[in-house]
Homo-oligomer: A and B are copies of this chain.
Amino acid sequence: MNPRFELAHLAHAELLTPDMEGSLWFFTELLGMREVARQGDSVYLRCYEDPYHHSLKLTGSDAPGLGNLGWRATSADALDRRAAALDTAGLGRGWTRGDLGVGRTFAFESPDGHPMELVWDIEKYVAPPELRSPILTRRSKRPLQGLPPRRLDHVNLMASDVTAQKEVFEQTLGFGTRERVVDFSSGTEIGAWMSVNILGHEMAIMADSTGSRGRLHHLAFWYGVPQHNTDAAELCREYGVRIEAGPDVHGITQGAFLYVFEPGGNRIELFGNSGILELEPDFETVTWDLADFDTGIAIGGATLPAETYFVYGTPPVPGQEKLVATGGARS
């Protein structure tokens, strides 16, 4: 069956952190996400417009990286169909009993080894009375702490083989590839931006030039307001959070970006608009030539640092940790 309408969106992510205190400070004090639960070495957090129990699970670990990614299906039947398709593709890792706020899931791995799961049963968040918003589509009041993003937005994964990774997600899970970057001199695909709905992307895949497998490039949270990226940069500058690039707007996805490194070492993107929304049901994939890529990277004058942006991912390869170390000025 055509997998086109089988997945709904990215529902939650787990990040690993070797600096739980620092990561918690970043996500709760600076970004104003609310803690909803703790269990074992993990803390569960949510943005004020996230629909479910949590969108981010932080788990203590030796190194930063991606612990898990949860994609929600459009129905219980769609979940079963996609689980079967993943098994057929040899990527299925079996059913799980879920997690706090998450029911039964079907675990799988991307071709590059990124840990993921599909889910249908999930706990809708219901705010306690003191956190209820008079804006009824808002799951909880905007916090007065920090500069709070509204919800989890998308993920960017590094992969040893972009094309192989992309094709599995297209064919097995129904992702549409909106944009890609190709090195026309070699024909190699070095990036792909994909979505299961009208968002410009919910998952990007970029070539990992270190030859590593299964690494995270970044996880993104959504402001939807361009000015908030400027505000976030200001707070990061003042509180010692290292800014990698931005605020600016990518040509690819037209997304307003700000890249920073949370204290645990993971790259986080703050997303200040919705980017291009792809309403056409029969859109054609847009292809950027690597040789003509500057507008793709930024519409304004921003540059992406070659020493980090295209090589640093989490977990870092040996020696990369120092690339993103900061002196720290949080208080």
**A binding-site residues for B, Cβ under 8 Å:** 4-5, 8-9, 29-30, 32, 49, 51, 72-75, 124, 130-131, 133-138, 141-142, 144-147, 151, 178-179, 197-200, 224-228, 230-231, 233-235, 237-239, 243-249, 251-254, 258-259, 273-274, 276-281, 283, 286-288, 295-296, 299-303, 329, 331
Contacts and interface: CB of A to CB of B under 8 A. Distances in A.
Contact of A179 (B136, B141, B199, B287): B136
Given A75-B281, A237-B299, A299-B237, A197 B197 contact: yes
Contact of A254 (B138, B251, B302): B138
A237 B295 contact: yes
Given A135-B254, A237-B300, A8 B225 contact: no
A248 B236 CA distance: 14
Contacts of A239: 141, 144
B227 A136 contact: no
Given A246-B300, A247-B248, A238 B135 contact: yes
Nearest to A202: B279
B300 A301 contact: no
A198 B199 contact: yes
Contact of A277 (B234, B274, B303): B274
A300 B258 contact: yes
A26 to B, nearest CB: 11
Contacts of A131: 331
B251 A144 contact: no
Given A134-B238, A137-B253, A198-B198, A247 B281 contact: no
Given A136-B286, A243-B301, A235 B75 contact: no
Contacts of A243: 300-301
A109 to B, nearest CB: 24
A254 B5 contact: no
Q: Which of A5, A130, A281 has its CB near the most chain B CB atoms (within 10 A)?
A: A281
A238 B280 contact: no
Contact of A145 (B144, B151, B245): B144
Contacts of A251: 134-136, 237
Nearest to A237: B299
A222 to B, nearest CB: 9
A67 to B, nearest CB: 21
A263 to B, nearest CB: 15
A183 B197 CA distance: 34
A51 B301 CA distance: 27
Contacts of A300: 230, 233-234, 237, 243, 246-247, 258
Nearest to A253: B137
Contact of A245 (B146, B200, B301): B301
B51 A279 contact: yes
A300 B256 CA distance: 13
A311 to B, nearest CB: 17
Contacts of A130: 331
Contacts of A279: 8-9, 51, 151, 197
